[in-house]
Amino acid sequence: MEKVDLIVRADYLITMEGDLSVINDGAVAVTGSTITDVGTFSDISGRYTSEKIIEGKKKVVFPGLINTHTHAAMVYFRGLADDLPLQEWLEKHIWPNEMKWLSSEFVNDAVELACLEMLKAGVTTYADMYFYEDTAARKLEKIGMRGVLGSGVIDFPWKDIAQSADDYFRHAEDLINNWKDSELITPCIAPHATFTCGPDNYKRAKEMADKHNVPLHTHLAETQFEVAECKKRYGKTPVEYLDDIGFLSERLFAAHCVWLTGKEIEILAEKKVGVSHCIESNLKLASGIAPLPKLLNAGVKVAFGTDGAASNNDLNILGEMSTAAKVHKAVSMDATIADSKTMLLMATKNGAEILGLGEKTGSIKPGKKADLIIAGLDQPHLTPIYDIYSHITYCMRPSDIETVMVNGKIVIDKGQPATLDEAGVIAKARAWREKIQEQ
């Protein structure tokens, strides 16, 4: 019998591997940060011993959820300006507040709240686009959460962050050099969007990403305004334009992709660009509804993103799954579209793959890192159970997530954060709100 550090047992085990079948009375053996083996409990307990066994009666174990597009620190602007169209919301409310408040200290504090919210909702990895990502990286490593942190690039100076493009790229390269060997942090370069970033900066971002072998993150085809602006400036729609300047590749994951022509969908598939579907943010800002069924049919890999909490207003991937499943059925007038297995696949394995982390996370498989979550099923809204995938997509709430493990370490233990002081994090957020409100 081989000794392992931990065995996790549950009534239902969903690995997101193979034919996606559910293992009843399943177990996962974990050694250090890595998954050693997966099977039924009788198989696993016949092969391995462990001093620590997490028992999962009336529970389900599945891979940690992945949020492929957010601006984590914007949790401090949650609910600051709602019920407005994107350009007005961005230019009159969000940018002036960021101009006033954004600092390393702001990011340091705000990221704690974002991580707490995401971890408690079963999100084990998130992909960010913001500034002061080096500060965020230090925080994530302390908390024990996985992050793909994109250092923002725009054409114009921004506070004391950058006076020129050189400054943005210096921050990005510093981030890469500081974190390229980290277990939890993947550094990334994030040119903001086609209306804030010109071709030179897009090309420079691609060159730097190729040189260091890191991912690229951008906003793409989010609004009709963006498409019209892109046509005006460059005579092309956003995807065709970025393809034209050589920016598109498997390295890129692009948020939104709402306004696409048939030809652009083909280009995204051909260039293997990953898409982050941010349906709740797109609905709330009235940006439109991305053509998810067409993207999936064309073979584009699509995952979920929440976008920042100022436009969503939460960081809840379970909510995105439920919303997407229903909206796309209604829009297509086809109830078979966006089925629950596809929704969980997008929220886990597809998410890892578009971030370039497919070898590391996104499913429960021997050799991958132990990023997994345990949800309790002993609740009225989860009773009775005929199909566990259906329950996760349509009924499960963040409060059902009991235990969360990232890289083999328990970060949420029976609903309680193990690496964050919840009361302290919330008190700090309220103190910032007092300051922001006063202005």
With CB under 5 A as the contact rule, which of the stretches 20-28, 131-139, 170-178, 299-307 interacts with Zn ion?
299-307
Closest Cα partner for 221 from 249, 251, 246, 241? 241
Smallest distance from the beta carbon of 116 to Zn ion, in angstroms? 20
Contact between 307 and Zn ion per CB under 5 A: yes
With CB under 5 A as the contact rule, which of the stretches 56-64, 181-189, 305-313, 411-419 interacts with Zn ion?
305-313
Residue 342 to residue 243: CA distance in whole angstroms: 28
Closer to Zn ion at the Cβ: 82 or 166? 82
Closer to Zn ion at the Cβ: 88 or 334? 88
Closer to Zn ion at the Cβ: 227 or 375? 227
Closer to Zn ion at the Cβ: 90 or 208? 90
Alpha carbon distances (Å) from 13 to 59, 75, 91, 382: 9, 32, 46, 16
Nearest position to Zn ion, beta carbon: 307
With CB under 5 A as the contact rule, which of the stretches 80-88, 167-175, 209-217, 303-311 interacts with Zn ion?
303-311
Smallest distance from the beta carbon of 37 to Zn ion, in angstroms? 39
Residue matched to tokens 């409310």: 93
Between 353 and 372, how does the x/- string for binding to Zn ion read (CB under 5 A)? --------------------
Strands 401-406, 65-70: parallel, antiparallel or unpaired by DSSP? unpaired
Smallest distance from the beta carbon of 71 to Zn ion, in angstroms? 6
With CB under 5 A as the contact rule, which of the stretches 117-125, 224-232, 302-310, 401-409 interacts with Zn ion?
302-310
Residue 19 to residue 12: CA distance in whole angstroms: 15
Closer to Zn ion at the Cβ: 133 or 307? 307
Smallest distance from the beta carbon of 70 to Zn ion, in angstroms? 7
Cis peptide before 187 (omega within 30 of 0): no
Closer to Zn ion at the Cβ: 27 or 74? 74
Residues with Cβ within 8 Å of residue 33, at least 6 apart in sequence: 183, 369, 370, 407, 408, 409
Residue 349 to residue 335: CA distance in whole angstroms: 23
Smallest distance from the beta carbon of 308 to Zn ion, in angstroms? 6
Smallest distance from the beta carbon of 69 to Zn ion, in angstroms? 6
Contact between 98 and Zn ion per CB under 5 A: no
Smallest distance from the beta carbon of 74 to Zn ion, in angstroms? 9
Contact between 226 and Zn ion per CB under 5 A: no
Smallest distance from the beta carbon of 213 to Zn ion, in angstroms? 24
Closer to Zn ion at the Cβ: 307 or 353? 307
With CB under 5 A as the contact rule, which of the stretches 150-158, 183-191, 205-213, 300-308 interacts with Zn ion?
300-308
State phi, psi for 275 to the nearest 5 degrees.
-115, 130
Residue 40 to residue 13: CA distance in whole angstroms: 9
User: How big is the site for Zn ion, counted in residues (CB under 5 A)?
Assistant: 1
Closer to Zn ion at the Cβ: 41 or 132? 132
Number of H helices, E strands in the chain: 17, 19
Residue 237 to residue 116: CA distance in whole angstroms: 38
Closer to Zn ion at the Cβ: 226 or 307? 307
Closer to Zn ion at the Cβ: 243 or 307? 307
Residues with Cβ within 8 Å of residue 231, at least 6 apart in sequence: 237
Closer to Zn ion at the Cβ: 134 or 307? 307
Residues 115-154 that bind Zn ion (CB under 5 A): none
With CB under 5 A as the contact rule, which of the stretches 5-13, 138-146, 304-312, 423-431 interacts with Zn ion?
304-312
With CB under 5 A as the contact rule, which of the stretches 133-141, 301-309, 369-377, 424-432 interacts with Zn ion?
301-309
Provide the 3-class DSSP secondary structure of residue 194: coil
Residue 151 to residue 172: CA distance in whole angstroms: 5
Closest Cα partner for 68 from 428, 375, 362? 362
Residues with Cβ within 8 Å of residue 13, at least 6 apart in sequence: 22, 23, 24, 26, 27, 28, 38, 60, 61, 62, 364
With CB under 5 A as the contact rule, which of the stretches 290-298, 307-315, 320-328, 406-414 interacts with Zn ion?
307-315
Helices (H), 271-421: 279-284, 292-297, 317-332, 340-345, 351-354, 388-394
Q: N- to C-terminal Cα distance for the chain?
A: 64
Residue 324 to residue 330: CA distance in whole angstroms: 10
Residues in contact with Zn ion by the rule CB under 5 A: 307
